[in-house]
């Protein structure tokens, strides 16, 4: 069964940094685009970042551009999100997602909560 397991969330002060990881299993990780999508408490879904299958191309939401970096290690089947200069408005559950629009199932992880507060 396909699994995506996020980790690395927690409480961080404004201006701080955090690195999220997403461990993928039971599918050919290197064949899929991957995304990070976040959801603030009680709010809707917001796309954050995307990386192509070999890691050569990335895209970001304007709200995180220049502060967040998406990357992947296909040898370790792991997706990352490096988050710097964190703000209170970055507080959310962060989900890693396999291929939002493709014909294969778009699997979501269970999410990891990031709380930015002093």
Partner 1 sequence: DVVLTQSPLSLPVTLGQPASISCISSHRLVHSDGNTYLSWFQQRPGQSPRRLIYKVSNRDSGVPDRFSGSGSGTDFTLKISRVEAEDAGVYYCMQGTHWPPWTFGQGTKVEV
Residues that bind partner 1 (CB under 8 A): 35, 37, 44-47, 50, 59-62, 95, 100-103, 105-106, 108-111
| CB closer to partner 1 out of 15 and 45 | 45
Kindly tell me which of 73 and 105 has the beta carbon lying closer to partner 1.
Answer: 105
CB crowding 87-110: b at 16 or more within 10 Å, else e: eeebbbbbbbbbbeeeeeeebbbe
Compare residues 13 and 28 and give the one whose CB is closer to partner 1: 28
CB of 103 to partner 1, least distance (A): 7
Tokens standing for residue 74:
């296909």
Give the CA dihedral 64, 66, 24, 1, nearest 10 degrees.
30
Q: How far is the CB of 43 from partner 1 (least distance, A)?
A: 9
């Amino acid at each position: 069964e396909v699994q995506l397991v996020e980790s690395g969330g927690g409480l961080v002060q404004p201006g701080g940094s955090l690195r999220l990881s997403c461990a993928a299993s039971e599918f050919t990780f290197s064949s899929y685009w991957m995304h990070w999508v976040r959801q603030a408490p009680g709010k809707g879904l917001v796309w954050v970042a995307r990386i192509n299958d070999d890691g050569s191309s990335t895209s970001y939401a304007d709200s995180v551009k220049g502060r967040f970096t998406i990357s992947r290690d296909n040898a370790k089947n792991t997706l990352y999100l490096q988050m710097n200069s964190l703000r209170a408005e970055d507080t959310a559950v962060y989900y890693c997602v396999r291929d939002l629009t493709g014909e294969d199932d778009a699997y979501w992880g269970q999410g990891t909560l990031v709380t930015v507060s002093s």
